[in-house]
Amino acid sequence: MLESYYAGVYWGSRRENVSECAQRTALFFSMLSQSDPSLKQWYKAGKGKVPKNFPGQTAPVDNANELERLLTEEMNRATIDKSAIEELGFGLHVWNQRPDSRSTRVHIQCGGYANMVGNHCLVDPPSEGDAMNRLMSEPVLIQLLECLATA
């Protein structure tokens, strides 16, 4: 059985508009890309474990304008009229499109301000392979924590 780990930060209600969330997210991915070569290219993923498409649509995480669009796409919406539920914030699911347990996934939920709504940034590193060995090294883990805490 493969061991699995994740790194994450959680914060409470923090009302931010999509531009603020996009700038914070772009900073996170800019810093993250310096940690390991496997963390430079990202693709849109579905909300579940399985990505929407393979190969997926490139997610331009270094472009704040494109990030605004991606964050808005994953907003929670009302069941009947599909209107955005603004107080629940914005979301982003991306992965680096490596096979099976060799992929890294990132889930971000930000800008939420309703009661009992949490915001977070979660990084699920691979559970096997060369990238896992690199990402689980002390220097890279320190960089990852700095990325999470700074952005």
Query: Order of strands across the sheet with 119-124?
Result: 7-11, 119-124, 105-110, 90-95, 43-44
Q: What is the pLDDT of residue 76?
A: 83
Task: Write the pLDDT tens digit of every residue in 51-86.
Answer: 545 556 788 898 999 999 999 988 888 888 888 888
Q: What is the pLDDT of residue 8?
A: 95
Cα of 35 vs its chain's centroid, Å: 15
80-108 mean pLDDT: 89
41-48 mean pLDDT: 80
Q: At a CB cut-off of 8 Å and minimum separation 6, what does 60 contact?
A: 66, 67
Q: What is the pLDDT of residue 70?
A: 93
